[in-house]
Amino acid sequence: MRVDSKSFRSGMARLAAGVNIITSTGAGGWCGFTASAVCSVTDDPPTLLVCANRGSQSYDTIRESGILCVNAIAGRHEELSMRFAGANGIKDMAARFAGAEWTTMVTGAPALADANVSFDCHVVRNVEVGTHDTFFCEVVAVREARSSEGMVYFGRKFHRVIV
């Protein structure tokens, strides 16, 4: 017997998760989306996993380029994260990146200049499950900012975390 997807989504809304902007680059230029499905796999080699919907505008670029950057964001980035989530129908990638400072690290994927931490990665493996792929990403560079504020997604809303 399986749990229906509506019940599953309702339960997942009660599981707090960090908010990240996942970015990449390829032949079509910079792209990105907001994700909470990111976690550490191992520190040897340093590896993260990132789940991405195969219907995402960024999916093909990540698959083709094999690179991405996980940008863990703070509360001050709420509006930016909403843009990358496609709020108000924002599909234009240039509009998503506008109004923030971006740099690049080792892979060339965009890194948010004032992210709490940016993990620059090479995708080393992907696994298809349902509508999503899980990308296993070896971290090739890390850039940290000293921030006392984070952001989590809980109860279908963003919440600032201040320490």
pTM over 0.85: yes
Amino acid at the residue 152? V
**Helix, strand, coil percent content, the chain, rounded in steps of 5:** 20, 50, 30
Total number of residues shown for the chain: 163
C-alpha gyration radius of the chain = 15
Confidence check: pLDDT of 142 > 90:
yes
Domains and CATH numbers, the chain: 5-37+58-121+144-162 (2.30.110.10)
Express each pLDDT in 23-47 by its tens digit: 999 999 999 999 999 999 999 999 9
Which pLDDT value is given to residue 157? 92
User: Tens digit of pLDDT for each residue in 51-67?
Assistant: 999 999 999 999 999 99
